[in-house]
Amino acid sequence: MKQSDIFTVIIVATVGTIAAAILCNMLLGDPNDKVVTFNVVSVVKPDLADPDPEVFNPDAINPTVEVYVGDCIDSDQDGQLSDDELASCGRSNKSSITKDTSDGD
């Protein structure tokens, strides 16, 4: 490259940068002139009503614990019915296979 080419590239880059800065300043405006207004949120008053106890029940059922509807009782209260607990209410998971030992020909 010749010295005149380098000089031309420097001039074009300088003019382009200045033009871009002026154009951005015209489009976006001066950031120091920007004004922001905020709405003040009112403070929670002490006379706030208690929530409806039917909706926010502190004694409600915990949804993470298995609930069994019917006559099965979780006697050890571990959240799962054991085989003994299922057998006591007649819903045993184990299939009772009886072996026929009679001599039938």
Boundaries of every domain in the chain: 3-31, 59-93
Tokens of 4: 């005149």
What pLDDT does residue 98 have?
Answer: 47
pLDDT tens digits, 6-60 = 999 999 999 999 999 999 888 888 778 778 888 888 777 777 777 777 677 777 7
User: What is the per-residue DSSP string for 13-43?
Assistant: HHHHHHHHHHHHHHHH--GGG-----PPPPP
- Does the pLDDT at position 75 exceed 80? no
What pLDDT does residue 64 have?
Answer: 67
pLDDT tens digits, 23-34 = 988 888 877 877
- Does the pLDDT at position 100 exceed 80? no
